[in-house]
Amino acid sequence: MSALKRFVELKVFGVCAAIGEKVGIATETIRKYFIYLSFITMGSPVIIYLFMAFWLNIKRYIFNARRNPVKYS
């Protein structure tokens, strides 16, 4: 069950999971505070979340491109 949960967290943007792994805080705690902060500030953290999701996907794409170089003729 935990393998499925980890797969879903990493494939569905995975922003909270990535922050939790880097900082060492539980992902559920980060999600809870993100929801509280979204209600307090009328949704402005959603913009930050989407930016971070975009950045993580670009970072993953660049890393995979460096790891698997393919030359086209």
How does pLDDT run across 50-65, given as a tens digit for each residue? 788 788 777 777 777 6
* d(C-alpha 56, C-alpha 13), whole Å: 8
Q: Is the dihedral of CA 52, 55, 61, 65 positive or negative?
A: negative
* d(C-alpha 3, C-alpha 5), whole Å: 5
Segments making up each domain of the chain, as ranges: 10-67
Sheet strands (E) in 17-68: none
* d(C-alpha 10, C-alpha 61), whole Å: 14
Average pLDDT, the chain: 76
Look up the pTM and report it: 0.51
* d(C-alpha 31, C-alpha 50), whole Å: 14
